[in-house]
C-alpha cells in the first residue's frame, strides 16, 4: 500500500486541530479539497479514519494506527530532505539549537550574533533547558546540537561530545549589598540571603552549604531563606540588582555591571564552582554547514572568554569591604 506524504501531513493536522476547517486553513487549502483528499486515503486504506461529531473529529482505531506511523514517516522524510540538501551543497536554512541556562548566557548568544552576520538568511531556533531534556532532543533529531551541562555518567555512545573550557563561577550581589561591607566573608554569611539562580546541575545544588530542594528555617525563628528559581540568567541578574538576593555567574557575564558599579563580585571562593558544559551532537549525523560554522564561532567565543579571564586583574576591596574593579 502506497502513502502520499501530503495526505499523511493532512491527517496529522486534522488530528492536531480536531477540526477539518482549522486543518484546511493551516494547510492553506480549501475544506472541500481536504475532505476529498481524506476520502481518497480512506478508500485506499479501506476504513474510515475519523469520526465526526459535535465536539470535532476524533481518530478511529484505524486512524490512530495510521497516525502513529505517519509521524515517524514524516520525520524520516524530513531527515532525507535535509541530508539531500546538504549533499547538493545548498546548506540548511534552519538551525535548531539547545542551550543550558549558563552557556546560553555566557557564550551562545554572542556566537549566534556572529553566525547571523555570516548567514543573514539563516533561521535559528534556540531552546533553553536542562541537559537531560536537550540531550534527549538531540537523540531524537529534534535539535541539530545542544550546548549543555555534560552528563554526570559515561556519555551515550550515540552522542558525540566536545568539551568546552571550564569557567570559574563567583557569587555576586548589588554594589550596596550589606555583604560588601563585611570585612572577611565566609560561606555561612551567604545563608542569610536568598539566592536567585537558573537551573543548577546536580553537582552544584548544594553550593554554599544550602540544598536547592530543602531550604531550612533558622532556629531563631527568622524567615526562611529561599532559592528564587528563574529560567534565564538575565532575570536572575535583575532580581539581584534590585534586592538583597545573591547570584552566581562567570565574571565575564557581569563585567559591564561590575565596571559600572552596579554589581559587585563577592570576595569568597567556594570549591567546585565552575562550568562543565560542551557541544552535544548525534554521532554519525552530518551537520549542516551553518551548524559547523556555529560550532567554530562558539569555540572562538569561548577562547575569548578564557583569554579575558586570564588577563583581567583581580578585584580589590574598598575600605568598606566592597569588591571594586581595578
Integer Cα distance of 119 and 93 in angstroms: 9
Give the residue from 109, 149, 95 showing the smallest Cα distance to 277.
149
Thinking of the domain 170-273, which architecture would CATH place it in? 3-Layer(aba) Sandwich (3.40)
* 323 Cβ contact list (under 8 Å, min separation 6): 180, 258, 264, 265, 266, 267, 315, 316, 317
Grid cell digits, residue 197: 539562580
Integer Cα distance of 86 and 94 in angstroms: 12
176-197 as b/e, with b when 16 or more CB fall inside 10 Å? ebebbebeebeeebbbebbbbb
* 85 Cβ contact list (under 8 Å, min separation 6): 91, 92
97 to 138, 145, 253, 283, 292: CA distances (angstroms):
9, 5, 21, 16, 12
| 170-273 matches 5-87 in CATH topology | no
Output the pLDDT for position 212: 46
Class of domain 5-87: mainly alpha
User: Greatest CA separation found in the chain?
Assistant: 85
* 154 Cβ contact list (under 8 Å, min separation 6): none
Q: Full-prediction pTM beyond 0.85?
A: no
Contact by Cβ (8 Å): 165, 303: yes
CA angle 150, 83, 143 (to 5 degrees): 30
Output the pLDDT for position 271: 77
**SS3 state at 302:** helix
Output the pLDDT for position 165: 95
Output the pLDDT for position 10: 92
Grid cell digits, residue 14: 486534522
| pLDDT, averaged in runs of 10, over the chain (326 residues) | 84 91 91 92 90 86 90 83 59 80 93 88 88 92 93 83 94 95 86 87 62 41 63 92 94 93 90 90 88 94 88 44 35
Q: Which fold has domain 94-167+275-310?
A: D-Maltodextrin-Binding Protein; domain 2 (3.40.190)
CA angle 149, 152, 153 (to 5 degrees): 135
The domain ranges of the chain are: 5-87, 94-167+275-310, 170-273
Where on the phi/psi map is residue 290: left (φ > 0), alpha (ψ -120 to 50), or beta? alpha
Amino acid at each position: 500500500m502506497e502513502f502520499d506524504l501530503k495526505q499523511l501531513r493532512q491527517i496529522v493536522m486534522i488530528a492536531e486541530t480536531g477540526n477539518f476547517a482549522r486543518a484546511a486553513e493551516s494547510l492553506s487549502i480549501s475544506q472541500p479539497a481536504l475532505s476529498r483528499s481524506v476520502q481518497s486515503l480512506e478508500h485506499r486504506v479501506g476504513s474510515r479514519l475519523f469520526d465526526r461529531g459535535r465536539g470535532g473529529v476524533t481518530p478511529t482505531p484505524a486512524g490512530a494506527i495510521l497516525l502513529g506511523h505517519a509521524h515517524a514517516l514524516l520525520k524520516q522524510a524530513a531527515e532525507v530532505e535535509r541530508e539531500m540538501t546538504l549533499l547538493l551543497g545548498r546548506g540548511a536554512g534552519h538551525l535548531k539549537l539547545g542551550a543550558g541556562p549558563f552557556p546560553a548566557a555566557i557564550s551562545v548568544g554572542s556566537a549566534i550574533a556572529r553566525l547571523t552576520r555570516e548567514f543573514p538568511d539563516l533561521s535559528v531556533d534556540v531552546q533553553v533547558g536542562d541537559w537531560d531534556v536537550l540531550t534527549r532532543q538531540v537523540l531524537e533529531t529534534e535539535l541539530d546540537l545542544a550546548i549543555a551541562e555534560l552528563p554526570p555518567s559515561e556519555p551515550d555512545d550515540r552522542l558525540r561530545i566536545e568539551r568546552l573550557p571550564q569557567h570559574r563561577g563567583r557569587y555576586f550581589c548589588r554594589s550596596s549589598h550589606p555583604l560588601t561591607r563585611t570585612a572577611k566573608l565566609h560561606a555561612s554569611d551567604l545563608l542569610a540571603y536568598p539566592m536567585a539562580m537558573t537551573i543548577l546541575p546536580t553537582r552544584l545544588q548544594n553550593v554554599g552549604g544550602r540544598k536547592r530542594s530543602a531550604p531550612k528555617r533558622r532556629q531563631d525563628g527568622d524567615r526562611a531563606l529561599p532559592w528564587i528559581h528563574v529560567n534565564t540568567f538575565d532575570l536572575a541578574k535583575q532580581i539581584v540588582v534590585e534586592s538583597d538576593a545573591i547570584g552566581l555567574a562567570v565574571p565575564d557575564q557581569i563585567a559591564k555591571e561590575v565596571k559600572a558599579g552596579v554589581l559587585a563580585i563577592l570576595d569568597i571562593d567556594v570549591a567546585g564552582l565552575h562550568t562543565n558544559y560542551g557541544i552535544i551532537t548525534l554521532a554519525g549525523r552530518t551537520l549542516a554547514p551553518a551548524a559547523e560554522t556555529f560550532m567554530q564561532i562558539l569555540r572562538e567565543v569561548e577562547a575569548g572568554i578564557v583569554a579575558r579571564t586570564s588577563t583581567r586583574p583581580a578585584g580589590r576591596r574598598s575600605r568598606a569591604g566592597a569588591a571594586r574593579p581595578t
